[in-house]
């Protein structure tokens, strides 16, 4: 065989290989999203002065076209579900991994969405190396971490959950490893360091199970009041609202109002409504009512400017992954088709 012929065969083989790889990659991306009925949540929300957001997963966005398209079509704000947590961002001390968070920020910027950074100080998903440090070193590592991470995304993250779930069910400050190793002042310090690293980012405290007026939300209220009185740069309070068919507590709106009266903005940050599996049609209707109530609660309080769902498809939700027997907690089913809850959110956001 002549040399020219051998080269031609090689070129064709490489081209066929490249095309095959592209086809496989294309197939792995899956189909386009089926359009969802009615007006997109990201169009309805602003008519009510509410940014409607969702928690997202970077790997899924990269690999699943329909998932990515629906995020761009329906939401105005993205919260990385895990990608900005300490264990993932600084797995080894001093070694930072920003690429997953960067990907989400880039996608959000392309789609004209804002990003809610989640989260700087949280007792879950901490890197293992923290446990080896003494109090002085934990303080140092925490401040360095906040400076580095907030600085990395400075100007690109609208809101940070600076401190996440600091309180126990009874409203005590959690012990491990914060604040036992940091001292009680760590919350104020975290806000101050974050503010210096990105003066434009709005800084929130984000709490779970503090929706009702009661011991836990009372302590949270006192904490926020004290921080404000001390001049700590805290701009807002996030209420997670992980719930089930028990719905939202009757005191929720009054609770939001008393926090708003402190001069802070309010966000609903992680809404979902877990169902027992398999859910009946009546369960799905009842779930829709709860989603509608969540939206209406935010609408009832002027300071409530952001409402984020903790995932938008039952195929990608922490409830089915981490709570055996429960699931179906989101507004779209596993095949990205709308559940009654999606329509309920649209109606509750409509003028």
DSSP 198-255: -TTSEEEEEESS--SSSHHHHHHHHHHHHHHHTT----EEEE--EEETT-S-TTHHHH
- As measured in angstroms, the least distance from the Cβ of 65 to ligand G3I is 21
Cβ proximity to ligand G3I, 48 vs 216, nearer residue: 216
Q: Applying CB under 6 A, which of residues 270, 271, 286, 314 lies at the interface with ligand G3I?
A: 270
Decide if 165 is catalytic. yes
Q: Please tell me which residue in 143, 165, 211, 265 is annotated as part of the active site.
A: 165
Residue 100 binds to ligand G3I (criterion: CB under 6 A): no
Decide if 270 is catalytic. yes
Residue 124 binds to ligand G3I (criterion: CB under 6 A): yes
The closest of 76, 30, 85 to 57, measured between CA atoms, is 85
Place of tokens 């790889």: 21
Q: How far apart are CA 59 and CA 68, in angstroms?
A: 10
Q: Compute the Cα dihedral for 29, 32, 34, 39 and give only its sign.
A: positive
Q: Applying CB under 6 A, which of residues 208, 213, 262, 277 lies at the interface with ligand G3I?
A: 208
What does R_g of the chain's alpha carbons equal in angstroms?
22
Q: Compute the Cα dihedral for 230, 233, 235, 237 and give only its sign.
A: negative
- As measured in angstroms, the least distance from the Cβ of 42 to ligand G3I is 22
DSSP 18-45: HHHHHHHHHHHH-PPPPPPSSS-HHHHH
Residue 244 binds to ligand G3I (criterion: CB under 6 A): no
Residue 284 binds to ligand G3I (criterion: CB under 6 A): no
Binding string, residues 306-335; x marks residues near ligand G3I by CB under 6 A: ------------x---x-------------
Residue 125 binds to ligand G3I (criterion: CB under 6 A): yes
Cβ proximity to ligand G3I, 71 vs 348, nearer residue: 71
Q: How far apart are CA 16 and CA 204, in angstroms?
A: 53
Contact assessment for residue 178 and residue 172, using Cβ atoms and an 8 Å cutoff: no
38-97 residues near ligand G3I, rule: CB under 6 A: 81-82
Binding site for ligand G3I (CB under 6 A): 81-82, 124-125, 164, 208, 240, 270, 318, 322
Which positions are annotated as active-site residues?
165, 270
């Amino acid at each position: 065989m002549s040399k020219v012929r051998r080269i031609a065969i090689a070129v064709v083989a490489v081209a066929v290989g490249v095309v095959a790889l592209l086809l496989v990659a294309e197939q792995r991306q899956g189909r386009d999203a089926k359009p969802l009925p009615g007006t997109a949540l990201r169009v309805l929300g602003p008519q009510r002065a509410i940014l409607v957001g969702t928690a997202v997963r970077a790997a899924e966005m990269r690999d699943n076209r329909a998932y990515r398209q629906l995020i761009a079509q329906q939401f105005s704000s993205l919260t990385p579900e895990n990608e900005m947590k300490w264990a993932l961002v600084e797995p080894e001390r001093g070694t930072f991994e920003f690429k997953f968070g960067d990907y989400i920020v880039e996608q959000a910027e392309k789609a004209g969405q804002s990003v809610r950074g989640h989260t700087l100080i949280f007792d879950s998903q901490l890197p293992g190396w923290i446990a080896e440090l003494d109090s002085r070193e934990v303080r140092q590592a925490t401040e360095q971490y906040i400076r580095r991470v907030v600085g990395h995304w400075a100007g690109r993250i609208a809101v940070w959950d600076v401190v996440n779930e600091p309180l126990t069910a009874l409203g005590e400050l959690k012990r491990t490893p914060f604040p036992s190793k940091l001292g009680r002042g760590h919350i104020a310090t975290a806000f101050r360091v974050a503010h210096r690293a990105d003066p434009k980012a709005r800084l929130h405290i984000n709490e779970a199970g503090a929706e009702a007026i009661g011991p836990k939300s009372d302590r949270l209220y006192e904490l926020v009041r004290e921080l404000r009185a001390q001049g700590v740069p805290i701009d807002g309070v996030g209420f997670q609202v992980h719930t089930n068919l028990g719905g939202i507590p009757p005191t929720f709106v009054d609770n939001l109002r008393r926090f708003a009266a402190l001069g802070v903005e309010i966000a609903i940050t992680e809404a979902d409504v877990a169902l027992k599996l398999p859910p009946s049609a009546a369960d799905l209707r009842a779930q829709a009512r709860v989603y509608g109530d969540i939206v209406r609660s935010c609408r009832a309080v002027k300071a409530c400017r952001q409402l984020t769902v903790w995932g938008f498809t039952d195929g990608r939700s922490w409830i089915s992954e981490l709570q055996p027997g429960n699931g179906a907690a989101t507004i779209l089913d596993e095949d990205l088709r709308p559940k009654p809850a999606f329509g309920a959110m649209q109606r509750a956001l409509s003028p």
